[in-house]
Structure 1
Amino acid sequence: MKKLLFYIFALISISGFSQEKDQEKQELMALKKANNFVYEGNEKAINNDFVSAEMAYRKALSQQATSVAGAYNLGTSYYQEGSYNEALYRLQQATKNATSKEEKHKAFHNIGNILMKENKCQEAVDAYKNALRNNPSDNETRYNLALAKKCAEDQKDEQQDDNKDDQNKDQNQDQNQDQNQDQNQDEQKDDQDKQDEGENKDDNQDQGDQDKKDGDDQKDDQGKPKEDKKDQGKGDDQKKDQQPPQPQPGQLSPQQVKNLLEAMNNQEQKVQEKINAEKQKGVKVQTEKDW
């Protein structure tokens, strides 16, 4: 029984080893085909046949997706054609699959060039720094880094100026809005004042017409002012109060009554004096009795 189990295990081990060999063989064949397509693409690129070169590099990646040369060369081909987005994608793919510093350096250097073409200066600075980390002695990368830094600083200053201009523009716009609002309020106030002035003018005109009408009513046919009946009545009453009372028919005036009383008093006084005189004549003088 032990011999049988060992035999089965030995067969399994041999089978697994054989599969690994076949897989390695297939990978080697795919790598060989990929390299052949890369070589073909390079030949086409040298002859400026970028369409055929692109097709060859794509075939290389289809044979081996991790082919750094296929991705790098395809990205470079896109860069030369001006297709910067496709070039950036392929070069980033190359940096992920690269195994050597030299491969990474070249990919990051070309990424920086693409970003500079698109005026993404700060991102280009980061790309060139990554390239120098993998190859600090590359003077071309160092020179491009200096240009990228200067470009990034200029863009930063320009952005600050734009922000300042936008702030000033917004501030001026707010001031203009406030001025327009104040102007509208002043115009509304002027319109209201004119409207009130017009209403007052109409009221004054109506009042003037009414006063003129009342004045005309108070004038007689000859244009002379009429006396108010009520005031005329009061004037008549005042005249009556000022004039002496007139005797009514069949009645004596107060002065006549006064004169009559005085005449009667004088007459009565004369009569009384006469009576008294007569009494004094007839009085006998009483003497003493003679006892």
Structure 2
Amino acid sequence: MARNANAVEKLDLRLKAVLDGLAEAAWADETVDARAVLAGAVEAVPFDEHEAFLLSGGIPRGHKALTTATAKLVKAGWMVKGRGGWSITEDGLRATVAFPTATALAEALAAGRPVPADVPVPTAPPAPKKRVRKATAKAAAKEDTELVTPQALPAAEEISEAAHEAEAVAIADLDQPHAVAIAGDFAKHLGAEEDWTPQPDEVQMGLDASSRVWVRTVELPAGHYAFKIAINRSWDENYGAFGAFNGANHELAHDGGPVTIAYDHSTKDIAFS
């Protein structure tokens, strides 16, 4: 249990570092690169050997966990993920004041607690806090330390060379969704109970390990079909023709037999073959 608790505390510290990094970029009136912000969070609280373990696709377990956790900031309305990168909202800036520690931030996100209405939007970063060296991430979390130096986690030095080589791939996948579906009028042909449903396993695509493109080959009778790309098993984020958000349906005129559908999440492009 202590090991799991420690992992949670480290993730909370990294999530706080992400929000602080976005805030610093906003205060400096700079365009922020999501990859740089996430890399900064990992530098502040490095991966241990468990977190550096490569999942399928060559992505370190810790990167996957951190990317997933940033969805909490989006849901809270504190950050926005757009095509041009990530940005912090005014409410997010206020959250850095209302919840100044990793523990406070995590508790607010878990409880769905909004920023108090009387908290103003900060226009400059707070005075820097003294960094704590040679402390474990668990101790740092208890002491409400936002940043932990690499020396704090010696295990991070044992990360395998393979993990370092996979870093470029992992960074490229930081904005990948958890699931991508081809939701359309041929879902029943794929084994789903209903057409136009993004939730079933039968309509999900797979992320190609080399191209980082979502791909699915399906067997369809001859006919004319329509579909959209639905993200994370929901219609909340979906892309139609020309990669337009909530746009018109993709149209597929098919002679019958197998057809491969490919979706690039970075460009929202669709290809058939």
TM normalised by structure 2 equals 0.25
Between Structure 1 and Structure 2, the one with more strand by share is 2
TM normalised by structure 1 equals 0.24
Higher relative contact order (CA closer than 8 Å, sequence separation 6+) = 2
Q: Higher Cα Rg: structure 1 or 2? A: 1
Between Structure 1 and Structure 2, the one with more helix by share is 1
